[in-house]
């Protein structure tokens, strides 16, 4: 009976979710083109506010459909009050594309609109790339150490480019989301990377250190968010099929100190201390996930 129910639900839910994304993403792109053609500061700010509402509406409707098609409990635990007038840096684990929708929905009533730091190549992703560009999300170009050895004149240019991207929303409270593992968790990646954490990949300290170097003085707090899907190994498939039962979003507020801002790529002492900090964060996160999964 459950199998038949899942087979029936999956195509309907999938089409509705894709239609929801296409509709709101399309509207955001249209408003983004108007902003591009009318480079007037007051008009740009007004249009961006409208686009943020469309952005939040997409996620709110998407999560509402998840609740309709699944007999589900979404548990959100927050340790301190949040504020829409503050700047936040979110560090989160990454299990599924569903994480992105849940984080946008989480932000909607509580904190400023979230910006995702995206790889430059993602601008060509249908709907997502252009919509992100329209909302001034930073597209990052990170140079590897081997590349910089061959092209030393580009040293520091990636951070400068990120700073310039962030200047577009420097006068408006914003939330920046960083998936510290750099990719979604899978059992294969977990094995290949020899992760010491049972439910997480190794954190990549360079990405969050890069974000803090580029714009750390703006943030009021770091929000360490842990996302978990107990009872499932395939969150997207189970969610679309109506089999999802529980989602946990756990939020820990961290004060941002000067010790977390420094030159990660050139200062060896700072690099080591930052790695100790992020690994402790991930150890505690994994401990909480073990409790929920069990």
Which pLDDT tens digit goes with each residue over 49-98?
Answer: 999 999 999 999 999 999 999 999 999 999 999 999 999 999 999 999 99
User: 177, 208 in Cβ contact below 8 A?
Assistant: no
Backbone angles phi, psi at 139, to 5 degrees: -100, 120
pLDDT recorded at residue 39: 86
> Which residue reads 């890069």 in tokens?
210
Q: Measured between alpha carbons, how far is 255 from 274 in angstroms, rounded to an integer?
A: 15
Give the separation between CA 24 and CA 54, rounded to whole angstroms.
Answer: 6
Q: Is 1 helix (H, G, I), strand (E, B) or coil?
A: coil
Run of H or E residues at 209: helix 205-215
Other beta carbons within 10 Å of 64: 12
Cβ proximity of 66 and 72 under 8 Å:
yes
With H, G, I as helix, E, B as strand and everything else as coil, classify residue 18.
helix
**Phi and psi torsions of 161, nearest 5°:** -65, -40
Q: How many CB atoms neighbour CB 167 within 10 A?
A: 11
Q: Which pair of structure tokens corresponds to residue 126?
A: 């249908």
Angle at 175 between CA 111 and CA 187, to 5 degrees: 105
In tens, the pLDDT along 114-135 reads 988 776 766 667 777 788 888 8
pLDDT at 211: 80
**The pLDDT value given to residue 289:** 94
- The backbone region for 177, taken as left when phi is positive above 0, alpha when psi lies in -120 to 50, beta otherwise, is beta
Low-confidence ranges of the chain (pLDDT < 50): none
The pTM score is 0.89
């Amino acid at each position: 009976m459950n199998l038949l129910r899942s087979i029936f639900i999956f195509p309907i839910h999938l089409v509705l979710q894709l239609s929801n994304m296409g509709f709101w993403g399309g509207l955001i792109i249209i408003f983004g083109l108007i902003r591009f053609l009318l480079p007037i500061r007051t008009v740009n700010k007004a249009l961006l506010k409208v686009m943020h509402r469309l952005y939040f509406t997409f996620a709110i409707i998407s999560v509402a459909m998840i609740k309709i098609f699944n007999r589900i409990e979404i548990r959100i635990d927050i340790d301190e009050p949040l504020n829409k007038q503050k700047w936040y840096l979110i560090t989160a684990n990454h299990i599924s594309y569903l994480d992105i929708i849940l984080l946008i929905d989480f932000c909607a009533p509580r904190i400023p609109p979230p910006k995702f730091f995206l790889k430059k190549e993602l601008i060509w992703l249908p709907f997502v790339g252009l919509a992100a560009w329209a909302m001034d999300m930073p597209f990052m170009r990170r140079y590897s150490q081997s590349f910089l050895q061959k092209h030393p004149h580009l040293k520091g240019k990636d951070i400068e480019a990120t700073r310039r991207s962030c200047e577009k929303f420097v006068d408006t409270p914003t939330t920046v989301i960083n998936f510290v593992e750099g990719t979604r968790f899978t059992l294969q990646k977990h094995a290949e990377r020899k992760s010491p954490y049972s439910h997480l990949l190794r954190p990549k300290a360079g990405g969050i250190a890069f974000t803090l170097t580029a714009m750390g003085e703006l943030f009021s707090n770091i929000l360490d968010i842990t996302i978990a899907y107990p009872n499932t190994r395939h969150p997207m498939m189970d969610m679309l099929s109506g089999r999802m039962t529980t989602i946990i979003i756990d939020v820990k507020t961290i004060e941002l100190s000067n010790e977390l801002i420094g030159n990660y790529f050139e200062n060896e002492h700072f690099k080591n201390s930052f790695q100790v900090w992020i690994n402790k964060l991930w150890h505690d996160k994994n401990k909480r996930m073990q409790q929920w999964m069990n």
